[in-house]
Every structure is written in structure tokens, then in C-alpha cells.
Amino acid sequence: MYTGKLDRRRRLLLRTSAAAAVAVPLAGLVRLSPARAADGKPLLSPDDPAAERLNYHADASEAPADQREGNAFCRNCTFFKGERDSADAGGCVIFPENRVNAKGWCQSWRAA
């Protein structure tokens, strides 16, 4: 009895199953990327109590000059999670429930 057709179907099923077993966990990693994690979160308001404690300014030019280095912005901070060159806002490790303005600044700024 010849079972060639059945063997091909079985091999196809095994290959498809193996590919799906690898693809499902990888899809979860893509969904949790830092840039996507910030999507849908509200922009941090300078009036937020946590923002006030860290002297957050949505526009770094409004921060006191004696506290802020000239090139210090959220976009070039180590805590910023987003597209550093093109994003208007992104996630922040310091403010996990909100997005911060890429041109903003707070006292926790550290060079990336």
C-alpha cells in the first residue's frame, strides 16, 4: 500500500505546526516593544503630582536654565522609550502611565 500522499500531508502539518509554535511567542514580543507600549497612554501633564515632583516641563526651554543642560531633552534621555529622532512623544521609565513630550525635560534626565 502506497502512503506517499498521506506522508506529504503529515509533513506539511508538522512544518505548519512548528512554524506556528515559533511565530506565536514572537508576535507577543513585537506587541510589547517599547514604542508600541506607549501607544494610547495620555501625555504627561506638567500639573501631574509626579511631574511636579521631578520638575517636568513639556517644553524644555521653559525649564530653569541653572538646572538643565542646553542639550537635555526627553528624546535623548536614557529613560525615554520611543523613536529618538522622529517621535513627538514617547514612553518613559520614570512615568510609566504616560507618554512624555520628546522636547520635554525633568530632573531625572540622564544622557542616553
pLDDT band at 8 (very low <50, low <70, confident <90, very high): confident
Considering the domain architecture, whether residues 93 and 39 belong to the same structural domain is answered as: yes
**Percent over 90 (pLDDT), the chain:** 55
Q: Are the C-beta atoms of residues 89 and 100 closer than 8 Å to each other?
A: yes
Residue 19: all three cell numbers together: 512554524
| pLDDT attached to residue 85 | 86
| pLDDT tens, position by position, 36-79 | 444 689 999 999 999 999 999 999 999 998 999 989 999 999 99
Mean pLDDT in residue range 102-107: 96
Considering the domain architecture, whether residues 26 and 54 belong to the same structural domain is answered as: no
- Element spanning 99, H or E: strand 99-101
| pLDDT attached to residue 98 | 95
Residue (of 32, 62, 56, 60) closest to 44 by Cα position: 56
As a whole number of angstroms, the distance between CA 37 and CA 51 comes to: 20
Considering the domain architecture, whether residues 54 and 38 belong to the same structural domain is answered as: yes
Domain range holding 2? 1-32
Q: Which of 17-21, 29-33, 39-43, 57-61 has the lowest mean pLDDT?
A: 29-33
Considering the domain architecture, whether residues 56 and 110 belong to the same structural domain is answered as: yes
Considering the domain architecture, whether residues 77 and 65 belong to the same structural domain is answered as: yes
Considering the domain architecture, whether residues 44 and 9 belong to the same structural domain is answered as: no
Considering the domain architecture, whether residues 28 and 38 belong to the same structural domain is answered as: no
Q: What is the mean pLDDT of the chain?
A: 82
Considering the domain architecture, whether residues 38 and 7 belong to the same structural domain is answered as: no
